Amino acid sequence: MPTRPILLSLLFLATLLPPLDAQGRKEEPNPVIVEFKKYIRSPEAEVRKDQVERLARVHTEEAVKLLVTRGLTDNIYAVREKATWALSRMQGPGLNALYKAASHSKEAVREGVCLAIGMLPAWGTPKATTADHSPESTAAVALLGERLHEDRSPLVRSAAAEALGMIGNPTATHHLVAGLTDNKEGVIISAVDALGILGDPNGGKPLIPLLEHSSWRVQVAALRALGRVRIKEGVGPIIEYLASATGRPTEDARNALIKITQRTFGMNPDTWREWWERVEKTWTVPPEGKPQKEDVPEAGYGRKPTRYHRIPTYSKRIIFVIDISNSMATPILVKRGRESKKARPRLSVGVSKILLAREELATTLTGMTSDTWFNIIAFETDVRRFKKAAINASPGNIQAALRWIEKQKLRGTAATKGRPSSNVGKNGWILGKTNTYGALATVFGLKVDPKLGGVRSTTAPSAGSRKRRPKWDTCFFLSDGQPTVGVVTDIGEILQDVKRWNKTCKMIIHCIGMENQQGLATLLTGLARITGGQCVFVGK
């Protein structure tokens, strides 16, 4: 098998690193391993995750075996993710065992090992200008390339492609280009993303045909990757894509053109065409910096953006997520008038947060065109959907949506005469709190299982998953406070999960904060950053 020489090469390179114990004597049982075996069966995911993290300091074959058999097969993703990280810190004998595990019989193990190899600190940060050409990285690329081409699991092939991008060795380019012909959408997207991260110009031209792929997600991934690789050959095809596409992908096309050309001609393809026909023969890709401002109207070429709290989108598939926790009943402090450099901005106490959110949503919904599809999620401790699937913005559907959002009353307020917030729901959670994790999981079509401490499915809709991805490509997420209830309330963990869910969904999340609190700001700016959205704060 072709795997054998590659594996032998990797094992030889790994043995060049000094082992932890060179004395040759029989070692006493490692106390970290002893403790791991004692507590890894704990029903608490946090305990198991802590034990997995501790094993990162033990660079032995036994430690790798335990991380592989216990950590990478855990039923909670956060534990598996921590096991992957711990494996990526292995040295000496532990590194030997890590490479051997790349051909393990279990899919979850091979997936985690591929990612761990891509995360090894030796590779540094992938950059085309400082590419890693070392023998170690070349051998790792060969092993991961074989996983990408031959593994039967789409999840493993996707992980191998992602890891190839992380290593930063240009020899990975031909493996990733071959991955563009995979029969699974998720694997193609992972290969496209990796080519964008790698930044090798030789990987740019093969991305251009993907602008005509049947999946809009592949198209968007190709546009983003072309924006990172920045080759001249991509400009003309992207302009034609902008002219023929509809909905949110047009925004990705415009952004790719801006990144490549450093010009800002807006959404009008005719303006781009006129400029390109004039300069194409002599034009070269300029250094990346701040795009040059153009004196042209930001015309949408017949396109009308949808705006919610001043954030525009050309998407035709939108989901709105509205916080209806008890704190949304309080009045909102908004800036009034123009700010002065000498004086503090004046604040005005207006309507309640929930009323302002409803008014803005009503304005947005009534302004949408009938070819737009939408849905609404309202969340507090419970998460509620307006419809099970997206519906078109017909006058009747818009009126039904407005009636529905008016009926979503806050818990325990005097005006609603509802149950007080001290009541407890079926999961033992206090009603009227902020279940951010549950709302975001619903956006991605996932169901939360409090008994597991995470989403019910062990993987989000991704490479090879039979689960249908959400139909919307853009989300407006409005909240006034940080998470207070749910299976996950840690902001860092929420952001990690959303990043994982969105790897192949390619959804943009625009965030609206009704308050500018530190915790909420961290959450919302993080969501916007990792999905390519915008973030605004309405209140002070």
Residues of the chain with pLDDT under 50: 1-2, 12, 15-20, 22, 128-129, 299-301, 340, 343-347, 413-418, 420-421, 458-466
Q: Do domains 3-210 and 306-537 have the same CATH topology?
A: no
Instruction: Identify the pLDDT of residue 351.
Output: 75
Burial class (CB in 10 A: 0-12, 13-18, 19+), 462: buried
What's at 405, amino acid-wise? I
Structure-derived torsion over alpha carbons of residues 318, 309, 364, 401, reported in degrees to the nearest 10 = 70
Instruction: Identify the pLDDT of residue 128.
Output: 43
What pTM was estimated for this model as a whole?
Answer: 0.84
Instruction: Identify the pLDDT of residue 414.
Output: 42
- 8 A C-beta contact, residue 42 and residue 75: no
- Residue range 129-159, pLDDT digits in tens: 456 678 888 899 999 999 999 999 999 999 9
Instruction: Identify the pLDDT of residue 25.
Output: 55
Q: Which of 180, 283, 198, 300 is nearest to 235 (CA)?
A: 283
Instruction: Identify the pLDDT of residue 515.
Output: 84
Instruction: Identify the pLDDT of residue 147.
Output: 96
Instruction: Identify the pLDDT of residue 334.
Output: 67
Q: Which CATH superfamily is domain 306-537 in?
A: von Willebrand factor, type A domain (3.40.50.410)
Q: Rounded distance, CA 375 to CA 481, Å?
A: 22
The hierarchical CATH code for the domain 3-210 is 1.25.10.10
Domain boundaries, the chain: 3-210, 218-293, 306-537
- 8 A C-beta contact, residue 536 and residue 513: yes
What's at 329, amino acid-wise? A
Q: Which of 191, 194, 223 is nearest to 208 (CA)?
A: 223
- 8 A C-beta contact, residue 65 and residue 97: yes
Q: Rounded distance, CA 426 to CA 457, Å?
A: 21
Instruction: Identify the pLDDT of residue 449.
Output: 73
Provide the pairing of β-strand 535-537 with 347-352.
Answer: unpaired
